[in-house]
């Protein structure tokens, strides 16, 4: 059972936003042993609130922050960046809480201006595989965050995947571009592989299945091969003068996959920086 530290009956965890990522976090916490009575979900959408309550009977679900009756230990901000400004005035009334934001583009300075310079804030960038406990989150903390609070944030995010910390917030743009947006790149790779299979003569359904299972299996093999680099795994499957080498000669060419992905990540990082301005 994960140690969630300060979260308890007297000081609950308040989750603001019960959407896809918020729901994934909630499922991870409950699966790791956090009791539902320790969680209050703030979700104004009646249908979403009803779905949360149906699957988690012990969890309190309220439509707004003014319905939260207990001083929270942690406030997890799992709302869209564009509605964050409307949410923060309601949570600023809890200066002793730890604030954990998973909103893209919202900086520590942004939260300091809204919540006060003394607020303990952790900014995190998870990604969508968190929905099945296979995500990865990168965190950066304000100077007011204690080691105990960092450990608590690690526990909360570890419930949905791996967790890493950085000290330089400027790296969050690159993190967003690589891991935050990265699942979409892989999904598009599967689309392209399936389309290429069809172009080579395979039926559409078979090409799609082969592309999906190949990428999923390769990912599982990477995860199971911590002692080997991905370059080693690639070489292991590449026979000299074979079919794989013929394909890699194209993918690893001057105008191949590496420069294309570099440009894509650079574009995403630039956009992340623009959104945080």
Residue that terminates a domain, selected from 169, 198, 232:
169
Alpha carbon of 160 to those of 126, 129, 202, 232, 268: distances in Å?
9, 8, 37, 28, 24
Task: Return the structure tokens found at 41.
Answer: 């979900």
pLDDT score of 5: 78
> pLDDT tens digits for 29-38?
999 999 999 9
Contact 21, 124 (CB under 8 A): no
Residue 6 lies in a domain: no
Residue with tokens 């623009």: 274
Query: Residue 9: pLDDT above 80?
Result: no
Task: Return the structure tokens found at 164.
Answer: 């890493």
99 DSSP assignment: E
- What is the three-class DSSP state of 101? strand
Q: 246 Cβ partners below 8 Å, 6+ apart?
A: none
Q: 46 Cβ partners below 8 Å, 6+ apart?
A: 63
> pLDDT tens digits for 250-272?
999 999 999 999 999 999 999 99
Alpha carbon of 12 to those of 26, 76, 196, 222, 247: distances in Å?
13, 11, 51, 38, 54
Confidence band for 195, pLDDT divided at 50, 70 and 90: very high
Residue 188 lies in a domain: yes
* Over residues 99-123, mean pLDDT: 95
pLDDT score of 1: 62
pLDDT score of 6: 76
Residue that terminates a domain, selected from 169, 193, 227:
169
pLDDT score of 93: 93
Residue 3 lies in a domain: no
The Cβ-side half-sphere exposure at 155, using a 13 Å CA radius, reads: 21
Number of residues assigned to the chain: 277
Do 211 and 232 sit in the same domain of this protein? yes
As a whole number, the mean pLDDT across the chain is 94
Structural domain containing residue 31: 13-169
> pLDDT tens digits for 27-64?
999 999 999 999 999 999 999 999 998 888 899 999 99
pLDDT score of 7: 86
* pTM more than 0.85: yes
Residue 4 lies in a domain: no
Task: Return the structure tokens found at 116.
Answer: 């006060």
pLDDT score of 98: 97
* Over residues 192-205, mean pLDDT: 98
CATH of the domain at 93: 3.40.50.720
d(CA 212, CA 121) in angstroms, rounded, equals 39
Residue that terminates a domain, selected from 169, 190, 218:
169
> pLDDT tens digits for 134-161?
999 999 999 999 999 999 999 999 999 9
């Amino acid at each position: 059972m994960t140690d969630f530290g300060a979260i308890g009956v007297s000081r609950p965890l308040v989750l603001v936003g019960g959407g896809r990522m918020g729901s994934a976090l909630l499922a991870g916490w409950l699966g790791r042993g956090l009791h539902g009575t320790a969680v209050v979900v703030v979700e104004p959408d009646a249908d979403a609130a009803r779905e949360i309550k149906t699957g988690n009977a012990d969890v309190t679900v309220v439509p707004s922050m003014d319905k939260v009756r207990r001083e929270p230990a942690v406030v997890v901000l799992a709302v869209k960046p564009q509605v964050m400004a409307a949410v923060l005035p309601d949570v600023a009334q809890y200066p002793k809480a730890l604030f954990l934001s998973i909103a893209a583009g919202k900086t520590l300075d942004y939260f300091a201006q809204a919540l006060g310079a003394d607020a303990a804030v952790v900014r995190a960038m998870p990604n969508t595989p968190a929905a099945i406990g296979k995500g990865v989150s990168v965190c950066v903390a304000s100077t007011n965050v204690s080691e105990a609070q960092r450990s608590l944030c690690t526990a909360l995010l570890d419930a949905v995947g791996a967790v890493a910390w950085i000290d330089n917030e400027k790296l969050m743009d690159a993190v967003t571009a690589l891991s935050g947006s990265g699942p979409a790149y892989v999904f598009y790779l599967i689309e392209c592989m399936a389309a290429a299979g069809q172009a080579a003569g395979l039926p559409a359904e078979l090409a799609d299945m082969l592309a999906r299972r190949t990428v999923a299996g390769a990912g599982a093999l990477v995860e199971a091969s911590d002692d080997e680099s991905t370059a080693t795994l690639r070489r292991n499957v590449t026979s000299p003068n074979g079919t794989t080498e013929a394909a890699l000669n194209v993918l690893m060419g001057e105008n191949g996959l590496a420069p294309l992905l570099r440009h894509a990540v650079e574009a995403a990082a630039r956009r992340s920086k623009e959104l945080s301005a």
